[in-house]
Amino acid sequence: MSDEKFTDLETISPLDGRYRGRVEELLPYFSQKALDGERVRVEIEYLVKLGSLEEIPIDPPEKSLREIHEEFDLDDARTIARIETEGYRDIPPTNHDVKAVEYYVREELKDRNLAELIPFVHFGLTSEDVNNLAYASLIKGATGQLIDRLVEVSESLITLAENNANMPMLARTHGQPATPTTMGKEFAVFLSRLVERLENLEEAREKLTGKLSGATGNLNAHSDSYSNTDWLDFAREFVREYGLKPNQTVTQIEPRDNMANLFQAISRINNVLVDLSRDCWTYISQSYFSQKQKDSEVGSSTMPQKVNPIDFENGEGNLSKANSDLEFLADYLTTSRTQRDLSDSTVRRNVGVAFAHALIGYKSVQKGLGKVEPNREALRNDLADHPEVLAEAWQTSLRKYGHSDAYEVVKELTRGEKLDAEMVGEVIDELPLPTNERARLKNLTPETYLGKAKEITLSTVEQAKETLSSFRP
């Protein structure tokens, strides 16, 4: 195994190169060192738990054992890699990663004068007993990192929704001018969606399952060796104490349906933020938003005037890449031939890739939200240019006064027409309405025809704040 160093300019994946600084908080969960360290933890905690059984003739010193995991560092991870690929001391190369972890623990016990415990290291276990608990625990922790970042995105949306709750904005449906809304209300829509999905993600995180059940899911070796022990209860307790929900109806593998549910929950969140990114991109292109500029940044290699919406574009790209990976993981990891095949092993190592792209996406969206501010002049001008969007109010007024052909009357007067203020007055004068109602409609403007947008926005913000308080200490 080569110890040769490489730089971030020599990596194959941009996650370990260009983007490494943006995903460092995931390293404790998805590096090889992190995985091996968590496997060691499973082996140690299992050994400690065995010591609590009356039938098992060992009395493991918990503090000394747990130090093996607590002191686990990069050199220890390298030792495990050597055991797997080259051999170590008198151990030949295993070509098996979990067996290498087991031998590492055995060597640590020898070095700590605890050799009497060696026969019970990995006792009755299959590799997947160790792996499923290690992966699920790491994924649970990494999901917490994603949630923390998503809470920050939600808080940015709260600020934008509150500050712009009463900021009139022309809406568009099918790309065409439509009934006015407010900028704050449009942010509130994404806030509401995101916070609800966040709750779903936290629920999925708490439902992650684990198993401890031996080679084919029946605890055969355990039951045969120590028949007086309630191994089902032991396994349930161990998995629960490890922070996961026990699943005892399994093959060699835990089916990972709940893990797939978590991946899909993240994917749904990503879809919300892709939608947000695309809308923000569109509003920037319409000049509804201006972006705070940084003097040193370059928008184009040839057009020096440009300030591009790069954060929303980067967010959209990374979130879409994450979703592609998450969909594959959710589909693939929930299938396995008969009681087990190994095709999932290489796939499962790529969970961190999906999480990393999602994290980059969240950070990019957050950065983009921090740059945008409303262009009040552009918003006002666009509203003023499209008084025809008040046609909804005109036909509704006709209905109010009993005209069954209200829609058709207004359609005949307005469809396909580009109206100005003078023409609006002329259209209203032709409506078969009382004089005072026509006067009211003439005073109505796109900037004031906002319905309950402000109230909806502020109510959504308050609900979001209440929900998010459960995610903050």
Here the tokens at position 122 are: 């990995």
Separation CA 294–CA 42 (nearest Å): 48
Looking at 164-293, list the stretches that DSSP marks H as alpha helix, in order from N- to C-terminal side: 183-206, 220-225, 231-241, 257-285
Do 140 and 242 contact (CB within 8 A), yes or no? no
Separation CA 362–CA 359 (nearest Å): 5
- Whether 174 sits among the annotated catalytic residues: the reply is yes
Nearest to 430 by CA among 418, 420, 442: 442
Catalytic residue among 64, 287, 300, 324: 300
209 DSSP β-pair partners: 245
Separation CA 140–CA 206 (nearest Å): 8
- Whether 403 sits among the annotated catalytic residues: the reply is no
Q: What phi and psi values does residue 308 have, to the nearest 5 degrees? A: -90, 155
User: What DSSP element (H or E) covers 219?
Assistant: none
Do 374 and 292 contact (CB within 8 A), yes or no? no
User: What is the number of alpha carbons within 13 Å of residue 171 lying toward its C-beta?
Assistant: 16
235 DSSP β-pair partners: none
Separation CA 437–CA 257 (nearest Å): 60
Residue with tokens 């684990």: 210
Burial 399-425 (b: 16+ CB within 10 A, else e): eeeebeebeebbeebbeeeebeeeebe
Catalytic residue among 2, 174, 301, 469: 174
Q: Is 243 left (phi over 0), alpha (psi -120 to 50) or beta?
A: left
Coil/strand/helix, residue 92: coil
> In this structure, which amino acid lies at residue 451?
G
Nearest to 183 by CA among 168, 193, 162: 168
The residues that are catalytic are: 174, 300
